[in-house]
Each structure stands twice: as C-alpha cells, then as structure tokens.
C-alpha cells in the first residue's frame, strides 16, 4: 500500500476540525486525521507493506520548465512557495516525526513529487499494489496485469472508489492505461494544465479510442488530408494550434517510474521503532488515542509504548 501522504494530510486537515488541538493549543487535526485514516486503511485492506510517499518538491523545476503554468495558481504572492494553511504547515514535520518513531516507512526524492515516488515503487513491486490518493493523475498507474489499482479518496477513506483499468474505461471511455494522454488533451485546472483549447473530455476520449495514444493522434494530425470524425476539420485546427502545448505537457503529466530510490522494505512494524519517542510525541501533541488506534491496526502489543 502506497500512501500519497500530502493528499491524505490535506484531506485530514479539511475533514477534521482545527479545534482538535495539542495540550498547548496548537492544531493537530491533520496529524490525528492522517493516523486515523491509516489505521482504517490497515484494518480494511490488510496490506503486507506500507509506505508513506512524500512530496520533497511539490512543483519540480523540470515540470515548471516544460509548462510554467503548472501549479502556478497555488503559489504564494511572492511566487516562492506553496500556499498552505497556517494551521497545517507546522503539523507536517510533527507527522513525519510520528511516522519515524512508529517505524512506518516514509520515502521522498529530491526534486520530485510523491507521485513520482509512487510510480517508481509501484513499478518495482513484485506483487499487488494499492495506491491511496485523491489525485486523479495517478490513475495512469492502474495495470490489471500487474494488479496495480488506485483507492481513490473522492468520497473519503470509509467510502473509497476502487479504480482499475475497467473503472477508467467506464468513467472516461478510454483504454484503461490511457489516462495520462487523456489528461494532457483535456487538461486539469487543479494542476494548472490547460489542455488543448476547445478539446473536451468527449473529444479527447474519441481521439484516444480511435488512434490509441497521443503519439498516434499526433501522427494522424500530421498526415491527415481529408478530415473525418473524430479528427474533424475543427479538431484538426485545434490540435495544430496546440502543438507547442502538446510538445510540453506529457513531461508534466507523466509520472516518473524510474527514480534512483534506495531499497524500501515497507514491512509493517510489529512494535514502534522508537517507543520512547513515540510516547513523548503522543503526549506532547495530545494524539494518544490516534497512536493507540494505529498500534491496534498494526497488531502492537498492549505494552508497546511502555
């Protein structure tokens, strides 16, 4: 099980009231929510291994160089960093400390997003993989042959949407592994990805179904003399006009699958890695109940934090 950590702690922050605070009055709603979500996922799905995948760089330079609009709407006014709620920012390092003390693997990669870590670990995996995320970009990883699926959090952790190749086909009308090309054509405003102007979801799906992938579409565009559906004269003009965008966008959308990551075991900890540190963190931040729920889901003995 690969957790898209930022997706989950943002969901936890907005789903749990900020009135949930530590003994000294600081919000811990994201930390508590993340731990409780993880406990529920462990209980419901019983993975053999678990990795919290981290955004070491939420807006990598190589993606911005390809498409400057990428996530630009999330920048602070000075353009230097992501706008994060003031109550959330301080909770992220606390969560990282809790995961370390608990012994749950946390993996990031310099200059890459969690998506890329997830893509690499999923590609390396020798068995089934569940990716837990609220980010549709990761639908591109689904692979029925290798049993890679997404547990999509659109309706929350207790009502996950299981996304495999059939689900992608049913929802978007495209081959199950074609989501990345579909996203390039249609665009995604949540990431500052404009798409090809005038090409919506239905046209994008029709083009992919007809020509197989983005490379096939562009080959057809280059050689079409007599337009015919779905490559009509109007669509042909739009794709020609969007040529520069289509050159750049695949670099932004494609999840990296070959990062130079160290070996990651991800085995579920049968006891905390640092019981004393975990107990101190639980007390300092008032998250004892969430830590206990996590421990119960991991099968820790009653005296694990003693």
Calculate the average pLDDT of the chain. Answer: 96
- Cα(23)–Cα(289) distance, integer angstroms: 14
CATH superfamily of 179-253: 5' to 3' exonuclease, C-terminal subdomain (1.10.150.20)
% of the chain surpassing 70 pLDDT: 100
Looking at the predicted structure, is the pLDDT value of residue 288 above 80?
A: yes
Give the residue-averaged pLDDT of 160-183.
96
Q: Is 177 helix (H, G, I), strand (E, B) or coil?
A: coil
Return the closest-CA partner of residue 45 out of 124, 150, 143, 142: 150
Question: Given pLDDT bands bounded at 50, 70 and 90, which one contains residue 155?
Answer: confident
pLDDT digits (tens, 9 = 90+) for 35-56: 999 999 999 999 999 999 999 9
pLDDT digits (tens, 9 = 90+) for 80-117: 788 899 999 999 999 999 999 999 999 999 999 999 99
Question: Given pLDDT bands bounded at 50, 70 and 90, which one contains residue 158?
Answer: confident
Burial 10-28 (b: 16+ CB within 10 A, else e): bbbbebbeeebbbeeeebb
- Cα(207)–Cα(210) distance, integer angstroms: 5
Give the architecture-level CATH label for domain 2-174+256-298: 3-Layer(aba) Sandwich (3.40)
pLDDT digits (tens, 9 = 90+) for 14-26: 999 999 999 999 9
Looking at the predicted structure, is the pLDDT value of residue 306 above 80?
A: no
Give the residue-averaged pLDDT of 205-231.
96
* In the chain, where the domains are located: 2-174+256-298, 179-253
Q: Are 297 and 269 in contact (CB under 8 A)?
A: no
**pLDDT of res. 11:** 95
**pLDDT of res. 78:** 83
**pLDDT of res. 80:** 77
What are the two backbone dihedrals, phi and then psi, of residue 174, each rounded to the nearest 5 degrees?
Answer: -130, 160
**pLDDT of res. 221:** 96
């Amino acid at each position: 099980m690969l957790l898209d950590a930022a997706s989950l702690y943002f969901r936890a922050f907005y789903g749990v009231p900020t009135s949930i605070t530590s003994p000294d009055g600081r919000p811990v709603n994201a930390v508590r929510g993340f731990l409780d979500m993880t406990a529920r996922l462990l209980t419901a799905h019983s993975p053999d291994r678990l990795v919290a995948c981290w955004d070491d760089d939420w807006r990598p330079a190589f993606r911005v160089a390809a498409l400057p609009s990428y996530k630009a709407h999330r920048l602070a006014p000075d353009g230097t960093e992501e706008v994060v709620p003031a109550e959330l920012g301080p909770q992220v390092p606390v969560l990282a400390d809790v995961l370390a003390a608990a012994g749950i693997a946390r993996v990031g990669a310099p200059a890459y997003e969690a998506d890329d870590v997830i893509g690499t670990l999923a590609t390396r995996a020798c068995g089934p993989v569940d990716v837990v995320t609220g980010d549709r970009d990761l639908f591109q990883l689904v692979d029925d042959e290798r049993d890679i699926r997404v547990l999509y959090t659109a309706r929350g952790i207790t009502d996950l949407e299981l996304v495999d190749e059939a689900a992608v086909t049913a929802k978007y009308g495209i081959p199950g592994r074609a989501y990345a090309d579909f996203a390039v054509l249609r665009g995604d405003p949540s990431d500052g990805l404009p798409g090809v102007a005038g090409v919506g979801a239905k046209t994008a799906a029709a083009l992919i179904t007809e020509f197989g992938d983005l490379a096939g579409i562009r080959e057809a565009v280059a050689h079409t003399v007599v337009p015919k559906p779905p490559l009509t004269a109007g669509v042909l003009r739009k794709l020609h006009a969007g040529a520069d965008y289509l050159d750049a966008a695949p670099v932004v959308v494609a999840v990296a699958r070959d990062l130079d990551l160290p070996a990651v075991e991800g085995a579920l900890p049968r006891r905390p890695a640092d019981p004393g540190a975990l107990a101190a963190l639980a007390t300092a931040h008032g998250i004892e109940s969430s830590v206990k729920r996590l421990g119960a889901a991991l099968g820790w003995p009653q005296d694990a934090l003693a």
